[in-house]
Amino acid sequence: MTTDNKEFVLRKNDLIENNEKLSQKSKNRMRKSKASNTLRAYEADWMDFYDWCSYHSLKSLPAEPETIVNYINDLADNAKANTVSRRLSAISENHIAAGYEDNNPCRGGLVRNALDAIKREKGTIQRGKAPLLFEDLQDIAQYFDINDIVGIRDKALLLTGFMGAFRRSELVKINVEDLNFSRDGVIILVHQSKGDQEGQGEYVAIPYNTDSSVCAVVGLKSWLDIAQLKIGPLFRPFNKYKQIRDRRLTDKSVAIIVKKYAALAGRNADNFAGHSLRRGFATSAAQHDVDERTIMQQTRHKSEKMVRRYIEQGNLFKNNALNKMF
């Protein structure tokens, strides 16, 4: 297979595009086999590898195992082990897309040993953003200006993000028609998420809270009432006159809003981001002795690994041996 090594094969796979036995409909659907965010990340990682190979006058596709080993060792001088692993995944996926699945240099023992050595040396600990706990939300509640349309939106956004354990990408994709209110609370349809790449859809239930100041259902109703939204994106930006724009809020805006209210409540804004809402729910639930399966039902995690990490973090003080000594 002949290809321009600079071309990111995963985005336009010649093995698919030039296959005369495949219908155009099949080709169109197969282009969507990976999420757009995943493709962008893989492309950036691949181009870094390609530039490194170009600088050293080495072939990048197919690459020799030794080339990949030398690349990841150079990369490891200034990158975390998890970054090296992700970059290696991108290189591997691009080789597979180019037709080198059976001779994928990333899967050889030489490369695996090199990666293991990097992981042992640097460690694989992930230092994520701090969780925004339920107690933090209670402190933040006083800073929501419920007489201002921006404050009403922000309250609905943060409370919904926390109570629904939403990823920020999921939060901004919610449409008004995805909400179903009942006497118990609200059920929100999530059309597609990181854990549901096939788009089967999942439902998230948020019950009423006896404390209206931190009730996501009350917050949502207040936002819908003042915004007069009937269809389309639920959370939207404003212009400089505080008029609602006819488009969707970006996921980066979620992080900015989280940081804003964390700072108002006296927290260090640099420690928080959009993921702090989802992580905060899981950690807070663990602190309140919610079992693993029930937490996963709300967070929609497919693996217990990450949820167990949240539970361990949430119980660092609760199950601390020092509590029995003091």
Measured distance CA(34)–CA(197) in Å, rounded:
8
Residue 278 annotated as catalytic: yes
- List the catalytic residue out of 278, 293, 309, 318: 278
Which regions of 147-246 does DSSP assign to beta strands (E)? 179-181, 185-190, 202-207
**Of 129, 194, 248, 308, which one is the catalytic site residue?**
194
- 3-state DSSP helix/strand/coil % of the chain, to nearest 5: 55, 5, 40
Cα separation of the two ends of the chain:
70
Helix (H, G, I), strand (E, B) or coil at 6: coil
CA 108-9-13 angle, to 5 degrees, is 110
* Residue 245 annotated in active site: no
Catalytic residue (choose from 167, 173, 259, 300):
167
Q: Are the CB atoms for 226 and 154 separated by under 8 Å?
A: no
Using CA atoms, how far apart are residues 109 and 315, in angstroms rounded to an integer? 39
Residue 40 bears catalytic tag: no
Spot the catalytic one: 173, 236, 275, 300.
275
Active site residue 95: no
Answer whether the bond into residue 62 is a cis peptide, omega within 30°: yes
- Hey, what amino acid is at 305? K
Phi, psi angle pair for 49, to nearest 5°: -65, -45
Sequence-distant (6+) residues with CB within 8 A of 260 are: 154, 269
Residues 6+ apart with CB under 8 A from 210: none
Catalytic, 191? Answer: no
Six-digit token string for 27:
């080709």
107 tagged catalytic: no
From the list 84, 213, 61, 66, the residue with the least C-alpha distance to 152 is 213
List, by residue number, the catalytic residues.
167, 194, 275, 278, 301, 310
